[in-house]
Amino acid sequence: MIETKAVAEKFASIYGSGASLFVSPGRINLIGEHIDYNGGFVFPGAVDKGIVAAVRPNGTDRVRAFALDLGEEAVFRLDEADKPVQAWACYLFGVCREMQKRGGEVGGFDTVFAGDVPLGAGMSSSAALESVYAFALNELFGCGIDGFELARIGQATEHNYCGVKCGIMDQFASIFGKKGHLMRLDCRSMEFEYFPFDPEGYRLVLLDSRVKHELVGSPYNDRRVSCERVAAALGQELLRGATMERLDAIRERISPEDYKRARYVIGEERRVLEVCDALQRGDYETVGACMFETHRGMSEDYEVSCEELDFLVAVARECGVTGSRIMGGGFGGCTINLVRDELCDAFLAEAQKRFDEKYGHEPWVYDVVISDGARRL
Ligand code: GLA
């Protein structure tokens, strides 16, 4: 539960009255991982965990922001020279600057925010943070920016102020989410479709390993660069639409590592479409089989999994779970699991017990509740 009341009260106590409240969610992704920046299809949905912000323009050129979960305040002006030092405040600063770059007349404001999207779990707490401010400032300063551009503002914030060359999926899901629906987004054309998602007889649960591997350099950006190199070798702008035949034809010209990365992407592109068809038939067994395949690809070819997540997926398989895989950017975080109702409790108990025995703590369990996107409260 997001502490909406606590956010409002904190705002009143430090900045006074007159704040408006906004919320923007984290996301899950059923299938289509590391596909957004390759221009393919992804299948996310917004969740019932998010970031709540109380915001009030203050008529100055300064932002005063208080992060309730950290008990920390940042104060900055909206020019490049005054980029804040706190990492969390850079998200706010980046959003304001990206809005201004697009002609949005964003001025100073006071704000308090808090959230319940677990950090580092692969559920896009950062996109929730960017989106809640993009959405709120757009309304409060009357910028008239549309939803797609608000998502791009969050993405550009990651690129230009936070060092992550992410795709558009997370910010899109956080803005456009709809209760009870997943979204199939074509990341090249930005066309999308809502899919009612109510897998009768199954539950969708996340197991949060609470593990985050801090890796040297930026392995996420490296994956993206690999894909770009292969696309260039194929004479394409994006990897989307590449085939194994064409990849094999250029195999000698690319590194073995890049070959594996592209092989994963080609397989994942196919799986997204397979999952869409299967969903329309209500065939969850096929959906689950694709999820296991995705995990194998992310672990062996894309190499964004880790021991703990591989372990959780192996336990899921042994327990007869329908589908399980690492979710999000990788290197820790959650598995997403499609589990038949009658199996769910036993599976969760077993996974928690065995993970605890091996790694010394239990993974946390989150039931996925597909919810609405950014909005005013
Ligand atoms: C992160 C990025 C997204 C996407 C996923 C992997 O969440 O922010 O753009 O690439 O990883 O699917």
pLDDT mean over 134-152: 98
Q: Which atom of ligand 1 is nearest to the CA of 164?
A: 8
Nearest to 274 by CA among 2, 40, 113, 12: 40
Q: Is the CB of residue 324 below 6 angstroms from any atom belonging to ligand 1?
A: no
Q: Is the CB of residue 115 below 6 angstroms from any atom belonging to ligand 1?
A: no
Q: Which atom of ligand 1 is nearest to the CA of 122?
A: 7
pLDDT, residue 183, reads 97
Q: Note whether 41 and 66 are within 8 A (CB).
A: no
pLDDT grade, residue 302 (50/70/90)? very high
Distance CA 240, CA 268 (A): 10
pLDDT, residue 216, reads 61
Alpha-carbon torsion 16, 20, 21, 27, what sign?
A: negative
> Which entry of 170, 208, 258, 301 is annotated as an active-site residue?
170
**Cross-strand pairs, 24:** 51
In sequence order, the 6+-apart residues with CB closer than 8 A to the CB of 323 are 284, 287, 288, 289, 290, 291, 292, 337, 338
pLDDT, residue 121, reads 87
- The DSSP bridge pattern shows strands 109-115 and 62-67 to be parallel
pLDDT, residue 361, reads 97
pLDDT, residue 3, reads 84
Give the CA count within 13 Å in the CB-facing half-sphere of 370: 23
pLDDT grade, residue 306 (50/70/90)? very high
Distance CA 306, CA 360 (A): 16
Q: Is the CB of residue 33 below 6 angstroms from any atom belonging to ligand 1?
A: yes
pLDDT, residue 139, reads 98
The pLDDT tens digits of the residues spanning 154-163 come to 999 999 999 9
Residue 363 gets which letter from DSSP? P
pLDDT grade, residue 252 (50/70/90)? very high
Q: Which residue has the CA at smallest separation from atom 2 of ligand 1?
A: 166
Q: Is the CB of residue 154 below 6 angstroms from any atom belonging to ligand 1?
A: no
Residue 5 gets which letter from DSSP? H
DSSP letters, 98-150, are HHHHTT-----EEEEEEE-SPTTSSS-HHHHHHHHHHHHHHHHTT----HHHH
pLDDT mean over 45-65: 97
DSSP letters, 179-219, are TTEEEEEETTT--EEEEE---TTEEEEEEEEEEE---SS-H
Pick 216 or 27 by higher pLDDT.
27
The rounded mean pLDDT for the chain is: 96
H runs (alpha helix) in the chain: 4-15, 87-101, 125-140, 147-157, 169-176, 219-233, 244-249, 256-281, 284-296, 307-318, 341-359
Query: Is a pLDDT exceeding 90 seen at residue 119?
Result: no
pLDDT mean over 339-360: 98
Distance CA 357, CA 230 (A): 42
* Residue 248 annotated as catalytic: no
Query: Is a pLDDT exceeding 70 seen at residue 1?
Result: no
Indicate the angle between helix axes 341-359 and 307-318, nearest 10 degrees.
140
Query: Is a pLDDT exceeding 80 seen at residue 245?
Result: yes
Nearest to 117 by CA among 345, 294, 368: 368
Cβ burial of 238 (10 Å; 0-12, 13-18, 19+) is: middle
The pLDDT tens digits of the residues spanning 66-111 come to 999 999 999 999 998 899 999 999 999 999 999 999 999 999 999 9
The pLDDT tens digits of the residues spanning 167-222 come to 999 999 999 999 999 999 999 999 999 999 999 999 999 999 999 877 666 899 99
